[in-house]
Amino acid sequence: MNLRLLLISHAATAAMRAGRFPADDPVDARGLEEAQAARSRLPIADDATAFVSPALCARETSLALGLAARADAALADIDYGNWRGRRLSELAAHAPSALAAWTRDPDVAPHGGEPFAQVVKRIGNWLDALALHVPLESPDEPYVTADNASVGTRHVVAVTHAPVIRAAIVHVLRASPVIFCSIEIPPLTAVEMRHSGQRGWTWWPS
């Protein structure tokens, strides 16, 4: 089985523009316009199976992209604990040590929520289960691999959050989670990953 997965980060929220940690915020008006405009440029296959994070901003982005997506808790944003809704600048001023530890060590969660290393495990389990259990529905559809072999493929799209996409990249590359702060995922970024029985998961930068 061959699988093509497109991970899309949700559109911007007012909290993101204000430098606040998420608290299940909606997409703002500008973000909604950007998502609607992105609909024509994102390489979403017409027959793709769609999943979405349960968060409001992800569900609104999914609708703006014209997707009939199923919510999946594995795609939820990282749990920010008691930092939810707080400004980054506020934490930098009043809890600099905790903030520094969180940005450097993927195994710590000074906010009482979820460490980044746990997000890597969560999305890694989702990716591996997807590869094992999603059937190939279109065996007659050609898919050209790197060696020009034409095989069938299954298309999946998931609207989620930047930390989750960072975690997916870390998992697919089998990299150390300490690199997570070095990966930038802006709103409405599409990251493509592919899975084949021979090679497993691979990341295909666009």
pLDDT at 187: 98
Handedness of CA 166, 121, 88, 18 (dihedral sign): positive
Structure tokens at 164: 């989750």
32 close to 10: Cβ distance less than 8 angstroms: no
Which of 8-22, 78-92, 151-165 bottoms out in mean pLDDT, i.e. has the lowest? 151-165
| pLDDT score recorded for residue 205 | 80
132 confidence band (pLDDT: 50, 70, 90): confident
3 state DSSP class of 19: coil
Q: Give the rounded percent of residues in the chain with a pLDDT score beyond 90.
A: 84
d(CA 172, CA 48): 21
Question: Which domains, from first to last, does the chain contain?
Answer: 3-77+116-204 (3.40.50.1240)
pLDDT in tens, 16-35: 999 999 999 999 999 999 99
Its pTM stands at 0.89
